[in-house]
Amino acid sequence: MKTVTLRCIFCLEPNPVNLNEGCDERLCTKCSKPFLMDRPFRINQEDFKMTVLDSKLPVLVDFYADWCGPCKMVNPIIDDIARLRQGELIVGKIDADRAQDLMLEIEVTSVPTLILFMNGIEVSRSVGLEPQKIKEMAESAIEKEFPHG
């Protein structure tokens, strides 16, 4: 099963979300509000293992900061990826100013940095504003997940 644990954006309850169930509405088990799967999720460093490393789906993580101009230019790119690859890939955003310990641990030294994780392992990384590379990373995740032929 392709499951990922995501926090409800309304009540913050962690929910295991099964993405094999088609694209029907998914509701929070606690507050019954919908999970919106067509956009990036916010992830904090405490949830990194639960949401990113333990995910059964590829996760593209965007380390950003509110004060960083190039980070804002990454947003429309990853919004598109989240919308177009809904159910195939999770896009997560991590506020770098609140994830210092995590960044030290996985050696993220600048923003924007985007890392693709599959099965808990980093498979590729983009540092700085690299729109083409970000798109290629998302494509490669899906090709590996669903090999052709």
The reply to whether 68 belongs to the active site is yes
Quote the CA–CA distance of 110 and 47 in Å, as a whole number.
21
Quote the CA–CA distance of 43 and 92 in Å, as a whole number.
6
**Nearest partner of 56 among 129, 115, 6, judged by Cα:** 6
The reply to whether 28 belongs to the active site is no
Q: How far is the CB of 30 from Zn ion (least distance, A)?
A: 5
**Rule CB under 5 A: is residue 137 a binding residue for Zn ion?**
no
Q: How far is the CB of 10 from Zn ion (least distance, A)?
A: 5
Q: Of residues 11, 23, 73, 84, which one binds Zn ion by CB under 5 A? A: 11
For residues 113 and 56, the answer to whether their CB atoms sit within 8 Å is no
Quote the CA–CA distance of 19 and 124 in Å, as a whole number.
23
Q: Of residues 4, 8, 61, 71, which one binds Zn ion by CB under 5 A? A: 8
For the segment 12-51, give every residue that binds Zn ion (CB under 5 A): 13, 28, 30-31
Q: How far is the CB of 64 from Zn ion (least distance, A)?
A: 24
Per CB under 5 A, the segment of 6-14, 44-52, 115-123, 141-149 that binds Zn ion is: 6-14
Strand locations in 31-83 (E): 34-35, 41-42, 59-64
* Nearer of residues 35 and 140 to Zn ion, judged by Cβ: 35
Quote the CA–CA distance of 69 and 57 in Å, as a whole number.
29
Q: Which residues bind Zn ion (CB under 5 A)?
A: 8, 10-11, 13, 28, 30-31
